[in-house]
Chain A
């Protein structure tokens, strides 16, 4: 019904966090310095791309199934008071599950990437800290 709104909320929050972190890294010079570590702004970029990409494609699926429409109130379930409670339940269960699962996969990705960078000292100087 509207489960993708939960990961979308997370995507908005993590995008703001990424912009703040990126700005702090530029100010501190970490973005230019070769610290041999992957920058947090880059790691957060991976999460943002997964969350925004997933939300975009899920929004299309919801449009296909007639669950969202391009006119107010946008969510079909909002037009019928009886559908609001099931929609909220779906957001709380499936939507939260999606956001948690994507974040958990990202945490594993970050852990593996950090371990790879640590175990490859020759790559540190050349590839660590690069964009995308």
Chain B
């Protein structure tokens, strides 16, 4: 389930990035690459586990869903940290100077 949720987050972020391109003031491109990286890695993990161990390809249960939500939150936190550090709007700098 976390693979599906992360892939969904990656697709949504890519659509938002494309809608605003070539402008990427708020680094949505970075967020989409974070989610795509995880999606590709989990895809390989799922494929190899399926080929070697068999069983269900997607793990659909509450535990995997909660993990998926947590993964999306961690991606957003990483993106927000990058956004606050780079401060493209200058809002943080202006607030701290007040």
Contact = CB atoms under 8 A, between A and B. Distances in A.
B85 to A, nearest CB: 13
A34 B77 CA distance: 34
Contacts of A97: 44, 48
Contacts of A3: 45
A31 to B, nearest CB: 17
Interface stretch (A18-26, A49-57, A68-76, A77-85): A49-57
B38 interface: yes
Given A4-B41, A54-B41, A64 B67 contact: yes
Contacts of B34: 49-50, 52-54, 56-57
Range class of the A interface residue count: 20 to 34
Given A46-B33, A127-B22, A98 B45 contact: yes
Range class of the B interface residue count: 20 to 34
Which DSSP category, helix, strand, loop or mixed, fits chain A's interface? helix
A105 interface: yes
Given A49-B30, A101-B43, A132-B29, A58 B48 contact: no
A127 B21 CA distance: 11
Given A4-B41, A61-B67, A127-B22, A53 B48 contact: no
Interface of B: 2, 6, 22, 24, 27, 29-30, 33-38, 40-45, 48-49, 67, 70-71, 74-75, 78
